[in-house]
Structure formats: structure tokens, C-alpha cells
Chains A and B, each alone.
Chain A
Amino acid sequence: MKPLDRISLEEQTRLVSRYVAGDLSRSERAEFEAWLVASPELAAEVEMERRLRRGIASAARRGWLKRGSNAPLATDRRWASRRWQTALAASVLLSLALGLSLTLPGGTDEKPVVAQPRATLKPIAASLTFRLGSLRGAGGSPDISLVKAEAPQQLVIETDVVVLTCEDGTLELECPGGSAPQTPQFPEYEMDLVRRHDASLAWRSARGVPVVGSQLSFTLRDPGGLEAGDYDLLVRGRSPGHEEVVARFLMRITAQ
């Protein structure tokens, strides 16, 4: 084993980051873990890397950070301008609709158009992606938080929950012949959205086939149409004659 003090701090930083992200190969991981055991300082670095990842994810969940932003300031300005235009367009539409509803004759049980805000105020964001991995439902805090009125048109949920096994289905660090496990534990996965309030199924995704090297992805359309409340996101592995819940996450939808 190469002594840890012979590698640069930058290299250590890179290794710590790759280790926590699960990007090290089997042999690299074994060597790194032997270093970890020998160095409480390195263990503290790993802990802080984990805190950093979690802190950033938590800040993003709270809406303090934006995802996928190449140039936040310029984007913000464009976004603010577009939002202002959307608001103006929505106001004009609402005024027209209100005017029409007041001038056109209609039945007494007919609701005015202004009573259907979702018909005119479409969700602003087209799509929002959440990547869920090892951080889940911490201390009752949700993994995904949405405000109903600001919900995107679709929610893309990527999960890192597929366990890789050897070809014979066994869970090993090393398969016969020395190769790393490469076979997903289940041939298909699906996601259920279960309302906590009454344990009812609110949505079930189409079944997805796992691809080694990429994360499972599920798309929930119009999440703003769901009732406000807490939901369990269950990822279920399926094979002929067998199914298992392989991961659970918490999603919270708030009215305001």
C-alpha cells in the first residue's frame, strides 16, 4: 500500500470525493479504505465531504440553490423577465375571461372561468429533476419538496438504488473470474407514489429497465395536480413471480 502521506492533498481531495460518490473501482476502494482505517484525519475528510454533499442537497431542497444553472445571474434576469411576461399574459387572459363570463348569458350553476386558475395559470417550469441517492428522508425531512402552485409540468426523479449482482444473482464484492458485479438485481423497476394520509396509491410509473452505469429515472407528469400532503415514493424491483420495495423516499407537497 502506498503511504497516504506520499500523495498530494489535491489527490487526496479527489479520492475522497470519488469515494463518497461511489466512483472508485474495487481495487481503488480497497486501498482507500485501508488508508481510511489508518488515518482518522482522512476519515474526518470523508465525513466533511459527506456533510458538504448533504448540505448542498439540503440547501437546494429548501430552494436556496438552483439546479442546472450555468450562469445564474443572467438566467435569473431572463427568468424574471419571462415570468413578468407570463404574469402579464395571464392577467390579460384572466381579464378577458372575467369580462366574457360577466357579459355572456349562462346557467346559474356555471362557474366563472376565474374559479379555475389552473386552466390559465400553467406551471411555470417545464421540468424539474431530482436525483435521489443515499440521502433520504433524513429526520423526517422530505427528499423532495414542492409548492403546489409552483410545481413544474413534470417531475423527473432519478434514483441510485439498483443493486448490482453477479450473473447467478448472488451479491458479492467480486464475481467468479474476478469481475465486478454487473447484473441489476431486478430486470424491471417501477415507482409508486403513496399518500401517507390514507396509504392510497396516487400514482404508479411505467416499468423501467435498469441500465448499468446510468440511474433509474421516473417521470411524474403534472405533480401540481396532486393533493397537498406527504407522499412516500417507493421504488419497487420486479422480476417474474417476485417483487420488492428497494428504496423509499419522502415527497412533501405544500399548498403555499
Chain B
Amino acid sequence: MSSVPAEEIERIVAAALTGDRHAESRMLVVLRPGVLAVLRFGAFHRWVDAEDLTQETLHIVVERVRARTIEDPRKVFSFAASTARNLALNAARKALRQQTVVDSELVDELAQNLEMEQSELSDADDRHLAEAVMAMLEELPTERDRQMLTRFYLDGVDKQQLCRELGLSPKHFDRVLMRARSRLRTIIERRAPHLALFPRITAVLLALGTTFTFWVRPFDSW
């Protein structure tokens, strides 16, 4: 995972806005995880190919940066996020328009869609993840914290109700969640490091590929 701090990212984007091509390349690399996250976890994630749309989003962002129509680096972040959302919305519209199914077509469609709906995790990785979560839960200091996490994530009980029932303060609740995520990351990095990588190695390669493409080919020749 990149450890570039937010201020440094802002400086990179500010430099890219001045026309610095080297900074532009770095900007693509540092913005990629966030754009990918917006597409993978945002409102329409069920209907989009996040990797493809990330490329498209970054393409549009670079065009806008080169056109110098944005001055504030922070507006680049907002622009990238809204571009990703709009592309996802369009992809969702397209997917929903194409989704008409009648019973007689069901079997073929099922076969096709099952392949499309494969998650990024294999059976083995899914098991690794479940084992890591169990290890994390066992390490929690109190039964109450374990209950809090399982009831929050599994039973969908909301925070206020859980705090009331378990006698927790909202701050304690947030701290347990924060520690759980942090501990889970440590366990995953030890047991199945490939599950903790963000962006995944393919994403890194794609980012480098994009950077290279933008670097060697100006848009007006495309």
C-alpha cells in the first residue's frame, strides 16, 4: 500500500496542475487507489467493472488537469470522485437496461452471469479471511467486544442500540472497530499477505501502464 501522506499528494497534484509531466505521472499513481475504492465500494459497485472505470476516470482527470481548468488541487480530488460516480451511474444504467430476462432464457443467462459475478476472492482466500477474522475475534480482550462486532456486522444491529444494550460509549464502540480493522490487517498480512495489498499488484501494473501511456502519447494524437 502506498504510504504517501495526504499533504504530499496535494503537492503532487498542485505540481501536475502547473504542467509538470513527471508530477502528472505520480498523480495518476497516487489517485488510483482512491478512485478504485470509490468504484468498488460506491453506490453502483454491483454493476461496474471497477478496474476499467478507474482507467477511464483517470483518463478524464488527466485531460482536465492538462486543460488547466482547475486551479485548486483539492478540487481535482472532488472532480475525480464525481467523475467516477457518474461513470458508475452510466454503467449501472446500461447494465439495468440490458437485464431483461424471461424464464426460458434463464439457464443460459445463469451460466454467463455466474462467471461475471465471481468475486476477486477464491474459495481458499475466502477461508483465509474467515480464519483471520476468527483469530482477530479471539484476540479481543472481552466477550463484550466480540459480541459488539458480531452483532454489528452480522446481525446488522445499529450502533446506538448496541451501545445501549452493551453499556458502551460511542467512543469505545469506534475504538473497538478501529482496533479490529487494524488487528485484522496485521493478521492478514502475516497469514495471507496478498489479501492485504491495496492496490493489488495487478492494479499497480495497470497504473504504471496508464502512466506510461499518458507519458509517451499526448491526447491530441489519440
Contact = CB atoms under 8 A, between A and B. Distances in A.
B117 A51 contact: no
Interface string A19-59: 11010000001100111111111111111111111111111
Contacts of B70: none
B80, B133, B137 interface centre (most CB from chain A within 10 Å): B133
A141 B132 CA distance: 18
B81 interface: yes
B35, B196, B198 interface centre (most CB from chain A within 10 Å): B198
A149 to B, nearest CB: 23
Interface in B31-51: 31, 33-38, 40-43, 45-46
Given A64-B134, A65-B150, A244-B100, A43 B178 contact: no
Nearest to A140: B123
Contacts of A35: 77
A9 to B, nearest CB: 6
B3 A41 contact: yes
B1 A44 contact: yes
A20 B185 CA distance: 17
Interface residues of B, number: 85
A40 B204 CA distance: 13
A30 B181 contact: no
A177 interface: no
Given A70-B147, A244-B99, A244-B101, A58 B133 contact: yes
Contacts of A49: 181
B197 to A, nearest CB: 9
B165 A70 contact: yes
Contact of B156 (A131, A135, A232, A244): A131
A213 to B, nearest CB: 12
A38 B9 contact: yes
B127 to A, nearest CB: 7
Given A14-B174, A52-B181, A59 B130 contact: yes
Interface string A169-205: 0011100000000000100000000100001000000
A138 B81 contact: no
A194 B177 CA distance: 38
10 contacts: A5-B6, A14-B159, A14-B177, A48-B181, A52-B184, A60-B154, A66-B150, A173-B43, A245-B109, A248-B110
Q: Which 10 A-B pairs rank lowest in CB-CB distance, beginning with the nearest?
A: A55-B133, A138-B119, A37-B34, A10-B174, A33-B81, A58-B130, A43-B37, A55-B129, A59-B130, A40-B2
Interface of B: 1-6, 9-10, 30-31, 33-38, 40-43, 45-46, 74, 77-78, 80-82, 84-86, 89, 92-93, 96, 99-102, 106-107, 109-110, 113-114, 117-119, 121-123, 125-127, 129-134, 137, 143, 147, 149-151, 153-156, 159, 165, 171, 174-175, 177-178, 180-181, 184-185, 188, 195-196, 198
